[in-house]
Structure 1
């Protein structure tokens, strides 16, 4: 079992422009030497690089993932920066093909300008690259959709020998390619299915958590999109439930020039709970005053009001702040049972709560390594923010460790792009296609060019 300090590394907060190392976005892990970074200008140049390179290769994307996923192990290894492979490559009435390194924010903006959207709800952070978000199973909320990877119609990839392969939904290996952790090849283009843009009205409420076991199902069954924050200390919930806007609501939105519409009436019933949470966060981070993006993630819940907007305006509201984020998927059918266990565990242990528990549910995914593979899933998210000096609350990280043990014991599947203790999980039992994925990996990358210590421990 990993210790907390190994699982949750401290941040490097020193500004050293002469640093020869590439760091991940959170500045808590070195990925490799800057001289190992290659930035191909085209897919053809990428093909030549891969065909001629004898060492390992890792794509760094926007570097949001934990360092272990992106790190190279030896001097002869290569870090690939694909930032030049970005933008729209093609479009039809029902699809758009993007270069794989296109940031999600640009994907969403482009679709909105076309009057289109993805059927999947967005993740909250839009600086991720499209390929990186797909590779780790990034998802939003709502039982009528699943992960971003489930909206892919075609995935284009450069293999270790420089050859190009394309996988469409009829290909027997498509489920492996959708969420692949960067272990099969370098994705260069993704064709996404699109639908006409819809406008939503999102209703926001503060309610007691006493009936959460039943309420969670009702929110998700009655609304197209639902997300909830569970303030366990105060036994409170902040709930967002969205449905398609009525013609009258949409007209008001259009008259507002397509900007998010906030209703005039606001609700202050959660303000005391927010103040309590802010006090915990201030104590844990030793940051006083209003400064710090991390505090804005909860202060926005004060004096909340219903809103009307497109799916990206309503739900893609994340604030990118260095943090330790643990997210575990539990089969939706068992979510109430697990919520009950969390309540009993909390009543017995009274663990320190740094931040509310985030609850998002999705429909089944077709991706073999998606935590929601073949089953509707409730994702339980837990966050601890870094202090300005790069340290972490010991009580906060201890809570993360203990709650992960509880969910892992319930058959939970961790989000690949976040933090988890791999020793807690039985991968073959959790993922029916685990060995099938390993076989695809062997076929596409027999020399393990796209591996590193992390992937070797996981699959080999």
Structure 2
């Protein structure tokens, strides 16, 4: 096992808006070494692809890197399950599945994120009928505070509390994920949709494809800049030439205005493998230069139009700090701390300019507008922690059950940190 107090890989998160506080960084080479670190440490956190914008993964104790642990990908065709090491990126897993003619039902915008980190924070892709990445978890292997491995699977008592865990229950070492037969997707972009027409029939717009995203800079509040439709190649019928008067883009587009689309997955209606179309960005490119911050709030689908109208009312304050806002849908699930728990949702995702003080000043206004509509924050992105301990039990019906599960699994608070404390955990 290697150990250093100032490991350069772990010093900062991807966006460089956070310097980690860990006193020590270790990279275990085996599960036995990992267990020994956990058993002998007062505070421990696993560190994945570092694509979180807040301190959810921070610790003042030991940061654990998974880069040296043995990698595993094992497909069980009979159960339609793949078992994979938790530290792998989705972009590493997807081509292996595709070679064996299997797929995951959905992927996030970036294939660069780790399995465990995405699942623990409820990260998602898009699609009216497609659930979050976490909802694909059929089982997981967890190293608990006593250094023992615990395996839980769908159907076990309390399983729904283990999946979106915020890193509070232990170190996830492996995941079992549902798989489906491989499929192809074609991606088409439409430009400049009238917002009011979209809101008049939001279901028709989000139902155009398997996965649909709208991008809005809010510089022209009444115009949606782009509509990205990802449609299965085996879908019946063809996409229209226009959507609400908006024509198909004649060239490939990046979600941000005037930015090269070289890093984006192929568009213009050309079909390709699921893993080369469902993300917005290609694995072989760095996602961006990191000069951004992110927030996201997910509202019940029944309040989607009202939420967008609330955001329209804040456009003047939002636009100066914003790079782009993405609107997309996620199907509901039964995972206790999933932002889509118990309801289909619309995600309102903000990619901000790298002005954290400005963003933090603006967030309370956005949250005040959206929380009466039941908005839940994405766990890995920026949101207001003041008062969170009072808000979360109102937003998550199983919040107290999760708290009890955490106390049972981690009585000495090995996996705790300041972020969890401010949530009331």
**Which residue matches 1:85?**
69
Q: C-alpha separation between the residues in 2 aligned to 1:47 and 1:130?
A: 20
**Which residue matches 1:209?**
195
Q: Give the 5 Å matches for 1:318-333.
A: 318=281, 319-322=287-290, 323-333=292-302
Assess if the C-alpha contact under 8 Å between 1:157 and 1:164 holds in 2.
Answer: yes
How far the C-alpha of 1:105 sits from its partner, in A, is 0.9
Q: Deviations over 1:228-248 (max 9, x none)?
A: 112432332211223321499
Q: Aligned in 2, Cα 1:219/1:85: closer, same or farther, shift over 3 Å?
A: farther
Q: Deviations over 1:215-257 (max 9, x none)?
A: 42112334322111124323322112233214999xxxxxxxx
RMSD: 3.2
Q: 1:24 aligns with which of 3, 13, 16?
A: 13
**Which residue matches 2:25?**
37
Assess if the C-alpha contact under 8 Å between 1:86 and 1:98 holds in 2.
Answer: no
Larger CA deviation: 22-31 vs 169-178: 22-31
Q: 2:326 aligns with which of 351, 358, 369?
A: 358
Q: Aligned in 2, Cα 1:274/1:456: closer, same or farther, shift over 3 Å?
A: closer
1:337 equivalent in alignment to 2:306: yes
Assess if the C-alpha contact under 8 Å between 1:86 and 1:101 holds in 2.
Answer: no
Q: C-alpha separation between the residues in 1 aligned to 2:190 and 2:9?
A: 49
**Which residue matches 1:12?**
none
1:165 equivalent in alignment to 2:165: no
1:267 equivalent in alignment to 2:249: yes
Assess if the C-alpha contact under 8 Å between 2:218 and 2:319 holds in 1.
Answer: no
How far the C-alpha of 1:399 sits from its partner, in A, is 4.8
Q: C-alpha separation between the residues in 2 aligned to 1:297 and 1:398?
A: 32
Q: 2:228 aligns with which of 194, 217, 240?
A: 240
Q: In structure 1, the residue corresponding to 2:349 is in which secondary structure?
A: strand
Q: Aligned in 2, Cα 1:56/1:299: closer, same or farther, shift over 3 Å?
A: closer
Q: C-alpha separation between the residues in 1 aligned to 2:87 and 2:53?
A: 18
Q: Give the 5 Å matches for 1:63-212.
A: 63-73=50-60, 77-85=61-69, 87-93=71-77, 94-119=80-105, 121-206=106-191, 207-212=193-198
Assess if the C-alpha contact under 8 Å between 1:100 and 1:190 holds in 2.
Answer: yes
Q: C-alpha separation between the residues in 2 aligned to 1:367 and 1:353?
A: 33
Q: C-alpha separation between the residues in 1 aligned to 2:272 and 2:37?
A: 44
Larger CA deviation: 240-249 vs 369-378: 240-249
Q: C-alpha separation between the residues in 2 aligned to 1:433 and 1:399?
A: 29
Q: Give structure 1 stretches of 5+ with no counterpart.
A: 1-16, 250-264, 279-294, 387-391
| Larger helix percent | 1
Assess if the C-alpha contact under 8 Å between 1:176 and 1:368 holds in 2.
Answer: yes
Assess if the C-alpha contact under 8 Å between 1:382 and 1:400 holds in 2.
Answer: no
**Which residue matches 1:459?**
424
Query: Which structure has the larger Rg over C-alpha atoms?
Result: 1
Q: In structure 2, the residue corresponding to 1:30 is in which secondary structure?
A: coil
1:416 equivalent in alignment to 2:379: yes
**Which residue matches 1:433?**
398
Assess if the C-alpha contact under 8 Å between 1:274 and 1:298 holds in 2.
Answer: no
Q: 1:313 aligns with which of 263, 270, 276?
A: 276
Q: Give structure 2 stretches of 5+ with no counterpart.
A: 1-5, 238-246, 282-286
Q: Aligned in 2, Cα 1:453/1:394: closer, same or farther, shift over 3 Å?
A: closer
Assess if the C-alpha contact under 8 Å between 2:139 and 2:177 holds in 1.
Answer: yes
**Which residue matches 2:410?**
445
Assess if the C-alpha contact under 8 Å between 2:107 and 2:279 holds in 1.
Answer: yes
Tell me the TM-score normalized by structure 2: 0.85
Aligned residues: 399
Tell me the TM-score normalized by structure 1: 0.79
